[in-house]
Amino acid sequence: MMHDEQLRKIVDHIFQAHPEGVITCEECDRQLHCLAEKVAAGASLSELWPEVEAHLDCCPNCNEVFQALVSILRAETSGALYAADN
Amino acid sequence: MADRSNEQWLLDLQSASGSQSLALEDLRQRLQRGVFYYLSRERSDLTHLSTQEINQMAEDLAQDATLRVMENLGSFRGDSRFTTWATKIAVRVAISDLRRARYKDYSLDDLTAEGDTLPAGATNSVTGTPTIGPENETERADVMQKISRAMEEALTERQHKALVAVALQDVSLDTLAEEMGTNRNALYKLLHDARRKLRSHLEAQGLTTQYMLDLFRQD
């Protein structure tokens, strides 16, 4: 049985074919760490590299890595990284 | 822990002297700290684990990640801090490992057997579930029928299986690629093509992107 959340998921997946063209996971990965540093410092991904942002919208794998990396970098800057294991 | 420049990290990690083992240990500790933060603060699915258990996981993952970093040292281009690049590798190792554990018994056959795919008719989507507002039930049900039909008509069997697994089951691309005997990039392209075909198919019936997104976002 499909629930509302599932309906949204399938609709999102169908309509998220990004118009900028396909960026593969490999291409995305090559930029991910540089972009994560900039986003963690306050830059906007959509302004930096919209194609990568479009890829992240469609690719949960790369998106998860990107979000995790940004989160760790921010924690490093704020000092929370060092507080976490105390 | 020494704060090294990118050049110093590379020099030390490739050194034949004692500075290599020191750098390796510094790197491992640094990756462990990042992974521990991620596991303990960002993973809601691990809240049942004790700090000690998470720390052990982080230690094991950091060990694997350090080896992976060393194997890939030649591909570091110097376009970010070395530690950011290494942390990316550690995060990938951690996420892949957690996904593998989650889907270790996953099979596409199971997915089909469960029938957890788009319903032939959409009326069952509202049976007993008050999640869809009544004013839009008929409209959404009609659209769901069209999506279901479009998936049958426009997609290959392989595209259909992949889209259902990823969109509805949250199966990771790595797991699915392995199951389907392909790689992640090829699978990503397969899914991209599937979505594009479906979108064209639906737009030809007057179902535009904005209309669909609005319809399924209404409360």
CA–CA gap between residue B11 and residue B176 (Å, rounded)? 39
CA–CA gap between residue A60 and residue A58 (Å, rounded)? 6
Q: Measure CB to CB from residue B34 to each of A59, A67, A72 and give the nearest one.
A: A72
Q: Maximum Cα–Cα distance for chain B, whole Å?
A: 73
From chain A, the residues in CB contact with B94 under 8 A are: 68
DSSP A50-66: HHHHHHHHH-HHHHHHH
Q: Which of A61, A70, A77 is the best substitution to test chain B (most B C-beta atoms within 10 A)? A: A61
What residues 20-79 of chain B have any CB closer than 8 A to a CB of chain A? 33-34, 36-38, 40-42, 55, 79
What residues 68-127 of chain B have any CB closer than 8 A to a CB of chain A? 79-81, 84-85, 87-88, 91-92, 94-95, 118-119, 122, 124-125, 127
Tally the C-alpha atoms within 13 A of residue B212's C-alpha that lie toward its C-beta.
Answer: 24
Check whether B205 has a pLDDT greater than 70: yes
Question: Which chain B residue's Cα is nearest to A29?
Answer: B88
Long-range contacts, stretch B171-174, CB < 8 angstroms, 24+ apart: B171/B103, B171/B106, B171/B111, B172/A60, B172/A61, B172/B99, B172/B103, B173/A25, B173/A59, B173/A60, B173/A61, B174/A61, B174/B96, B174/B99, B174/B100
The verdict on a CB contact (< 8 Å) between A61 and B163 is no
Which pLDDT value is given to residue A4? 60
Which residue from B41, B36, B48 is spatially nearest to B87, judged by alpha carbons? B36
| Dihedral angle over CA of A56, A61, A66, A67, nearest 10 | 100
Which residue from A63, A65, A70 is spatially nearest to A12, judged by alpha carbons? A63
Which pLDDT value is given to residue B129? 35
C-beta of residue B94 within 8 angstroms of C-beta of residue B31:
no
C-beta of residue B168 within 8 angstroms of C-beta of residue A9:
yes
Output the average pLDDT for chain B.
Answer: 81
Which pLDDT value is given to residue B217? 63
Which pLDDT value is given to residue B111? 47
Tally the C-alpha atoms within 13 A of residue B205's C-alpha that lie toward its C-beta.
Answer: 16
CA–CA gap between residue B46 and residue A62 (Å, rounded)? 20
Tally the C-alpha atoms within 13 A of residue B120's C-alpha that lie toward its C-beta.
Answer: 1
Residue B154 contacts A where some CB pair is shorter than 8 Å = no
Residue B214: pLDDT band by 50, 70, 90 thresholds?
A: confident
What residues 47-66 of chain A have any CB closer than 8 A to a CB of chain B? 58-61, 64-65
From chain A, the residues in CB contact with B127 under 8 A are: 1
Say what the ipTM of the complex is. 0.81
The verdict on a CB contact (< 8 Å) between B173 and A68 is no
Residue B143: pLDDT band by 50, 70, 90 thresholds?
A: confident
The verdict on a CB contact (< 8 Å) between A72 and B38 is yes
- Give the amino acid at B198: L
What pTM value is reported for the model?
A: 0.66
Contacts with B119 (C-beta within 8 Å, 6 or more apart), sequence order: A1, A2, B125, B144, B148
From chain A, the residues in CB contact with B147 under 8 A are: 10-11, 14
Q: Measure CB to CB from residue A69 to each of B41, B88, B213 and give the nearest one.
A: B88
Question: Which chain A residue's Cα is nearest to B94?
Answer: A65
The verdict on a CB contact (< 8 Å) between A15 and B41 is no
Q: Residues A47-73: pLDDT tens digits? A: 898 888 888 877 778 899 999 999 999
Nearest-Å Rg of the Cα atoms of chain A is: 15
Q: Residues B47-82: pLDDT tens digits? A: 999 999 999 999 999 999 999 999 999 999 999 999
What is the least distance, in Å, from the CA of A39 to any CA of chain B?
13
Q: Maximum Cα–Cα distance for chain A, whole Å?
A: 46
